């Protein structure tokens, strides 16, 4: 426990409301679960009762044992006010929930609500928030300090924006919004045509800020902490490899800064602390961003300051070992930096600035493969969904480890490994990529060097600081030397040097035309192994009691394995970077597994690469290795630690894939590891549709016709035999990657590129099978022990089968099927689990049509629904699964009856990828989720939608443009919606239908065709619009007028519902909301009956 000096706290505060950040979305992701969890631990240690509000069920922080009261509710003013009045809190902590929490607190303060309730705002006051979030006010404050803040102007109208662009700002320029999340709405503009386009096709609210672009300047961030006594420390400097113009969340970054002089760093340090104190940051952390003129280090521009914990705070915490969020919570209660002891050393106060004797590199991860129609060009608006962090003794070692950590096959550092690049890459493509600001810019420079492009030309095109390009040139020259002289690796020092510069064994094998086993044998023969070093905040100056570790090819081993202490630990593989299909839900289960081991007195070792998560907090496990989840790196750690066993069941598809590689590439001869859970044969059985189909024949299931095919010819013949519609899918993929539904022959003629590439590769096997239209879908999460005891949980999808389970809304308990059907699904799940001799967790997905039950798939591992169903069932499913994996007996649970309905909805990044269709299908595209809990199903449903779409609670307008087959949906709702004050706008056919039913309606013209009525763009831009209802003419992705309507809704920030099931659910729940009172429910109040 931190050595807090008691008596220094604000004793008037005994109960605090902590506001979380809501669902995982671009710009605000799992780093806030990490920060919030740290803050909860800190406040609990200080004796504070914490009331938590967060709508995200996938987080550790929303576990009911983390807080005094846990409200998984929409983060709205209405909900916050009711919680404050119910719980009688003394204060609200605003700085742990990102932009969402800050914006809510500003609104409450502006209404004078907090003062009226006698509630204190902690962390950041409204004046500070306004002066840092309002770019004009921020510029004025920087001017008072004598600091440059960039050339910026505010425009009140389109005309003024155009005039300013020509007269004052000049192109290229950046448009930014105040109080925006992850640079949302920001755009880099090169000419008047682009300016007019952005002003007329996006959700612009005047006034807008227009800034002179600092394209090509160097960007550096400093993380600072300030306490009530005006003591300040700089935690970390973070340098962006990509130049200004690219959002820092999308840039490759390195800590500490590598290419600025000490004089420049000291200047930045002084400026950042001066700014933080001037802006009245008196209780926690802040992030200050600077632009530095590459031609003159003294020419520094202050870009912005975030007066809260942020994405960069989480990164800095993991890069240094300094727990910014945890310390910020203590500072918010009035403690000073000298009164809080460093958790890792236990002997030094946190007023000592961390020192680093290693290099930390972050690489962001993008979902471009999920959104193939959208531009891949990066800019000032963030688009990445996750990130990895790697530590090394040299920049190249850290960078190459980070590349491996992205899990895109980049242990071979080449762009051809990516799914979003052409199979054949020529110089023309590389030049275009260098000039257009794309992901993995530094890897592109390495490929450019191989293509003969000089370092000077690369720097001129990219504006990347020459030092970073020089590091890639060093790597390239080492490649060349080894390719021409394979005997170089016969020398031990030379071999070590290659490893120290980041060369994986697999890449060394490729460069020397040898097998991986040959390289591994040679490395062992020369006794070359990585050593492990500590992240201890002090470069070894003090002894560390709870450090975490990284590997490097240096000469001093700083770590002794746990088994040398006379005991063995259990190793747990994490799930790697957040990405669509594998997100924070898996990290949740990893942490719950560590917690279970801790309660049983067993040691845990966590291996993961994601700096945003709770699992990579230094006190979540007994030992943490920040490492790529790549077979070579994991092998070296497992060989060193020799754990009693390895759990891969909570690391998603990553764990399954890595386990196969470990056993194939490293197990033979060198080491033998004990993996808990299903055998590789069982893992293969469920991925091999033919084998799995044979298994299911023993169960009372209806089966679809299916074929295993290779190539286009077999695809056509199988479709002819099976008949349309069909679903096509490969095996061993994450989040429905490359899965498509073909409804007619036009779909077959317009094959997606990912399918075309697979069909052209004879090694790629696809499964083609009947697609079941209009079937209900269910997720079953089952835990089984080695004695056959099982825990059964189930939820029903809101969308029909055909929508990826990760994108579907879900309800627990099921509401649209008979108990007998649920009982049959339970019987089938248990029977199949017994036949596979499953030990641990397994997930089944069932489709039900009438009385028929189909098993869509099985996943013999922890699923993304485990956190949701754990909270819905009041059962710690990952914990119970961990017991089963370890061979312990679990208490069987046949059926769980809850006192409440629990509804989950998915959160989508369509506003960042506006060129792609928003129609849902078998390929997952959501980034996060929200939850609604209530005794009334319709109210729980409304809460789940409200967590994503706050505007739907208003009594506003609904825009209706439904396909002919869907118009009758509105018959049941027109009267009830009118009674609660909803007004209708509709396109011609829907307008006539509504008028024929006797209701008032405004005619809206479509984008094409008859232009009578209100312009569609004006209708969608209407501030009173609360939602758009639009079903497509077909369920494909046709670029119809409806597609333009849907895209416009996303561009202007209007919620858009496209499926009949969703439309019925949202309209039912909307009426219920306006006819009754919405009351917050805390998890502690939910019981199993």
Which string of DSSP letters, residue by residue, matches 912-959?
A: G-TTS-----SS----EEEEEEESSHHHHHHHHHHTT-GGGGSS-EEE
Which of 704, 760, 549, 775 is CA-nearest to residue 641?
549
In the block, which residue shows the tokens 């290693």?
Answer: 358
Name the catalytic one among 287, 408, 582, 767: 287
Cα separation of 662 and 846, whole Å? 32
Which of 783, 803, 779, 789 is CA-nearest to residue 902?
779
| CA-to-CA dists, residue 13 to 307, 344, 530, 1064, angstroms | 22, 28, 49, 45
Catalytic, 845? Answer yes
Name the catalytic one among 103, 657, 859, 905: 859
Cα separation of 954 and 37, whole Å? 33
Name the catalytic one among 143, 166, 205, 997: 205
> What residues pair up with 931 in beta bridges, in sequence order?
904
Catalytic, 156? Answer no
Name the catalytic one among 339, 387, 439, 777: 777
Name the catalytic one among 56, 306, 501, 657: 306
Catalytic, 133? Answer no
| CA-to-CA dists, residue 83 to 35, 72, 117, 935, angstroms | 22, 11, 12, 18
Catalytic, 641? Answer no
How far is residue 953 CA from its own chain's centroid?
A: 27
Catalytic, 278? Answer no
Q: Is the dihedral of CA 1071, 1074, 1077, 1082 positive or negative?
A: positive
Catalytic, 306? Answer yes
Catalytic, 777? Answer yes
Name the catalytic one among 150, 502, 576, 736: 736
Cα separation of 541 and 545, whole Å? 13
Helix or strand holding residue 854 (H, E): strand 852-859
Cα separation of 30 and 52, whole Å? 16
Q: Are 744 and 724 in contact (CB under 8 A)?
A: yes
Instruction: State the angle between helix axes of 680-687 and 819-836 in degrees (0 to 180), rounded to the nearest 10.
Output: 130
Helix then strand then coil, in percent of the chain rounded to 5, is: 40, 20, 40
Name the catalytic one among 20, 583, 735, 879: 735
Catalytic, 861? Answer no
In the block, which residue shows the tokens 């309730």?
Answer: 117
Structure tokens that stand for 213 in this block: 């672009």
Q: Are 529 and 428 in contact (CB under 8 A)?
A: no
Cα separation of 405 and 392, whole Å? 13
Name the catalytic one among 131, 135, 800, 826: 135
Name the catalytic one among 218, 269, 326, 864: 864
Phi, psi for residue 24 in degrees, rounded to 5: -65, 125
Name the catalytic one among 211, 221, 304, 769: 304
Query: How many Å is the Cα radius of gyration of the chain?
Result: 28
Catalytic, 56? Answer no
In the block, which residue shows the tokens 């208003």?
Answer: 954
Q: For the chain, what is the total number of helices (H) and then of strands (E)?
A: 37, 40
Sorted by sequence, the CB contacts under 8 Å of residue 105 that are 6+ apart come out as: 19, 92, 94, 114, 121, 126, 129
Catalytic, 758? Answer no
Name the catalytic one among 69, 308, 362, 1059: 308
Structure tokens that stand for 821 in this block: 């059907």
Burial 593-605 (b: 16+ CB within 10 A, else e): bbbbbeeeebbbb
Cα separation of 903 and 812, whole Å? 6
Name the catalytic one among 69, 176, 1046, 1059: 176
Catalytic, 176? Answer yes
Catalytic, 864? Answer yes
Catalytic, 135? Answer yes
Catalytic, 289? Answer yes
Name the catalytic one among 218, 247, 523, 623: 247
Catalytic, 585? Answer no
Helix or strand holding residue 1015 (H, E): strand 1014-1015
Q: Are 826 and 742 in contact (CB under 8 A)?
A: no
Name the catalytic one among 396, 845, 948, 1051: 845
How far is residue 231 CA from its own chain's centroid?
A: 34
Structure tokens that stand for 1049 in this block: 């809704």
Catalytic, 736? Answer yes
User: What positions carry a catalytic annotation?
Assistant: 135, 176, 205, 219, 247, 287, 289, 304, 306, 308, 729, 735-736, 777, 845, 857, 859, 864
């Amino acid at each position: 426990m931190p050595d807090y000096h008691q008596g220094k706290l604000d004793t008037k505060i005994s109960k605090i409301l902590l506001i979380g950040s809501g669902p995982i979305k671009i710009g605000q992701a799992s780093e806030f679960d990490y920060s919030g969890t740290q803050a909860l631990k800190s406040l609990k240690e200080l004796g504070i009762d914490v009331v938590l509000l967060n709508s995200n069920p996938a987080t550790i922080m929303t576990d009911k044992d983390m807080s005094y009261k846990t409200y998984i509710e929409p983060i709205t003013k209405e909900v916050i006010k009711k919680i404050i009045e119910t719980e009688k809190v003394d204060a609200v902590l605003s700085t742990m929930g990102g932009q969402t929490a800050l914006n809510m607190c500003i609104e409450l303060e502006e209404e004078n609500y907090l003062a009226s309730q006698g509630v204190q705002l902690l962390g950041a006051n409204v004046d500070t928030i306004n002066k840092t979030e309002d770019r004009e006010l921020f510029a004025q404050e920087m001017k008072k300090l004598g600091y440059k803040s960039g050339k910026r102007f505010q425009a009140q109208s389109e005309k003024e924006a155009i005039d300013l662009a020509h007269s004052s700002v000049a192109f290229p320029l950046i448009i930014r919004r105040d109080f925006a999340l992850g640079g949302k709405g920001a755009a880099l503009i090169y000419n008047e045509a682009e300016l007019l386009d952005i002003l007329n096709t996006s959700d612009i609210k005047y006034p807008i800020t227009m800034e002179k672009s600092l394209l090509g300047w160097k960007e550096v961030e400093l993380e600072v902490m300030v306490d009530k006594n005006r003591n300040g420390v700089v935690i970390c400097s973070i340098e962006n490899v990509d130049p200004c113009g690219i959002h820092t969340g999308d840039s490759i970054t390195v800590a500490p800064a590598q290419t600025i002089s000490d004089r420049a760093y000291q200047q930045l340090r002084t400026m950042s602390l001066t700014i933080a104190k001037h802006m009245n940051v008196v209780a926690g952390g802040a992030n200050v961003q600077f632009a530095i003129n590459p031609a003159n280090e003294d020419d520094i521009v202050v870009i912005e300051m975030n007066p809260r914990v942020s994405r960069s705070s989480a990164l800095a915490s993991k890069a240094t070992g300094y727990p910014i969020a945890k310390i910020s919570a203590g500072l918010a209660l009035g403690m000073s930096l000298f009164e809080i002891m460093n958790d890792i050393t236990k002997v030094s106060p946190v007023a000592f600035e961390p020192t680093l004797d290693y290099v930390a590199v972050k690489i962001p991860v993008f979902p471009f493969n999920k959104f193939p129609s959208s531009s891949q060009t990066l800019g000032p608006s963030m688009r990445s969904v996750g990130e990895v962090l790697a530590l090394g003794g040299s920049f190249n070692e850290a960078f190459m480890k980070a590349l491996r950590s992205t899990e895109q096959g980049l242990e071979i550092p080449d762009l051809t490994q990516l799914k979003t690049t052409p199979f054949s890459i020529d110089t023309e493509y590389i030049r275009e990529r260098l000039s257009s600001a794309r992901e993995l810019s530094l890897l592109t420079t390495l490929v450019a060097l191989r293509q003969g492009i000089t370092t000077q030309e690369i720097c001129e095109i990219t504006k990347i600081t020459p030092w970073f390009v020089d590091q890639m040139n060093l790597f390239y020259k080492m490649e060349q030397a080894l390719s021409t002289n394979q005997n170089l690796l016969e020398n031990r020092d030379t071999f070590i040097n290659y490893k120290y510069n980041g060369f994986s064994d697999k890449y060394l094998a490729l460069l020397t035309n040898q097998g991986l086993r040959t390289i591994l044998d040679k490395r062992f023969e020369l006794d070359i192994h990585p050593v492990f070093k500590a992240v201890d905040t002090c470069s070894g100056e003090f002894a560390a009691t709870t450090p975490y570790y990284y590997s490097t090819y240096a000469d001093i081993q700083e770590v002794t394995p746990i088994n040398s202490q006379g005991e063995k630990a259990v190793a747990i593989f994490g799930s790697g970077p957040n990405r669509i299909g594998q997100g924070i839900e898996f990290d949740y289960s990893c942490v719950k597994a560590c917690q279970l081991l801790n309660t049983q007195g067993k040691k845990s070792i966590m291996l993961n690469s994601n700096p945003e998560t709770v699992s990579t907090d230094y006190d979540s496990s007994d030992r943490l290795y920040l490492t790529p989840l790549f077979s070579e790196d994991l092998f070296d750690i497992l060989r060193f630690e020799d754990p009693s066993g390895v759990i891969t069941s909570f690391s998603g598809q990553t764990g399954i894939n890595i386990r196969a590689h470990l056993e194939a590439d490293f197990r033979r001869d060198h080491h033998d590891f004990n993996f808990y859970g299903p055998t590789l044969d069982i893992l293969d059985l469920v991925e091999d549709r033919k084998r799995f189909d044979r298994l299911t024949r023993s169960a009372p299931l209806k089966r679809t016709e299916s074929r295993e095919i290779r190539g286009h010819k077999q695809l056509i013949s199988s479709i002819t035999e099976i008949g349309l519609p069909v679903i096509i899918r490969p095996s061993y993929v994450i989040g429905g990657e490359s899965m498509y539904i073909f409804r007619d022959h036009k779909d077959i003629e317009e094959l997606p590129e990912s399918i075309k590439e697979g069909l052209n590769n004879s090694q790629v096997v696809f499964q083609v099978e009947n697609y079941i239209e209009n079937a209900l879908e269910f997720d079953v999460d089952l835990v089984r022990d080695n004695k056959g005891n099982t825990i059964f949980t189930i939820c029903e999808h809101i969308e029909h089968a055909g929508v990826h389970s990760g994108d579907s809304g879900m309800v627990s308990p099921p509401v649209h099927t008979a108990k007998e059907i649920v009982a049959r699904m339970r019987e089938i799940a248990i029977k199949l689990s017994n036949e596979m001799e499953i030990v641990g967790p397994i997930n089944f997905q069932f489709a039900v049509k009438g009385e028929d039950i189909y098993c869509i798939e099985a996943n013999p591992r922890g699923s993304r629904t485990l956190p949701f169903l754990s909270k819905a069932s009041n059962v710690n499913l990952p914990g119970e699964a961990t017991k089963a994996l370890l061979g312990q007996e679990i208490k069987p649970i046949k059926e769980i009856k809850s006192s409440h309905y629990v509804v989950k909805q998915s959160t989508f990044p369509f506003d960042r990828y506006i060129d792609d269709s928003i129609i849902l299908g078998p390929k997952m595209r959501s980034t996060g989720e929200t939850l609604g809990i209530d005794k009334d199903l319709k109210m729980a449903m409304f809460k789940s939608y409200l967590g994503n779409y706050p505007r739907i609670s208003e009594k506003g307008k609904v825009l209706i443009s439904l396909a002919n087959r869907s118009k009758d949906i509105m018959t049941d709702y027109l009267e009830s919606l009118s009674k609660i004050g909803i007004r209708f706008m509709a396109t011609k056919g829907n307008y006539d239908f509504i008028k024929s039913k006797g209701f008032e309606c405004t005619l809206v013209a479509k984008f094409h065709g008859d232009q009578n009525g209100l312009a569609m763009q004006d209708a969608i831009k209407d501030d009173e619009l609360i939602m758009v209802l639009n079903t497509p003419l077909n369920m494909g992705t046709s670029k119809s007028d409806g597609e333009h309507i849907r895209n416009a809704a996303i561009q202007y920030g209007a919620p858009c519902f496209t499926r009949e099931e969703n439309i019925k659910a949202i309209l039912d729940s909307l009426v219920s909301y306006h006819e009754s009172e919405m009351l917050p429910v805390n998890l502690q109040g939910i019981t199993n009956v």
